Amino acid sequence: DEAAESEVQKVRDRFKKLMESHFRKIAVELEEEDLFLYHRAYTWGVQEYVEALTYFNYVTTGELVGWEEVAENCSFDVSKPKVDGDSTEAEPQQIKLHIPLSDYILGIQDMTGEMMRLCITTLGKGNLQRAQAACNFVKYVFAALHILQSCHNEFYKKLEVAGQSLGKMEYGCYLANIQGLEMKSQ
């Protein structure tokens, strides 16, 4: 549908604008700095970005964006002045904003809450198949997260919340299945 594709393109454009207006500035400012000295200043923004990007990607493709792809999106072309004798030239360069794996994982954990809302809303509209697909997706993500070990203090808190979201999704899908069976038998 043309209207839906137009909306998808608007969201993609907003992601690009966000990358250029915020993440590029951070990458330029932190170039040649110890990133982990400043990590706490931008970690929440990265987690929110990962949450939004992974949710958007699920809605449009049904798949999870990988850490490598997120990191690749944080590469920027910049021009640096090159002083060479008497002339000053702009030299093209590429800089990257380091995306720690922990920020990616924490963003995915946050995304499970959005997936729970999608599932429940979809159930309310009567689309059990789409809700079940969202539930299964979160089930696989949660299983993968559950086997990870992390020393990040937020990891286990967010893992617990992800488990609660999954429980709500499973319960909603279960009730919808039972109600559907009852409706068919009457």
Measured in degrees and rounded to the nearest 5, phi and psi for residue 92 equal -65, 140
- pLDDT band (50, 70, 90) for residue 93: confident
The two structure tokens encoding residue 51: 């949450």
- CA dist 48 and 110 (Å) reads 8
Look up the CATH number of domain 2-185: 1.20.58.2140
**Residue ranges of the binding site for Mg(2+):** 51, 114
User: What residues form DSSP beta bridges with 89?
Assistant: 82
Identify the pLDDT of residue 185.
56
Identify the pLDDT of residue 158.
94
SS3 30: helix
**Residue ranges of the binding site:** 51, 114
The two structure tokens encoding residue 49: 């970005």
The mean-pLDDT minimum among 61-65, 86-90, 161-165 falls in 86-90
The alpha carbons of the chain give a radius of gyration, in whole angstroms, of 21
- CA dist 98 and 32 (Å) reads 12
Mean pLDDT (whole number) for 51-60: 96
The two structure tokens encoding residue 167: 């429980």
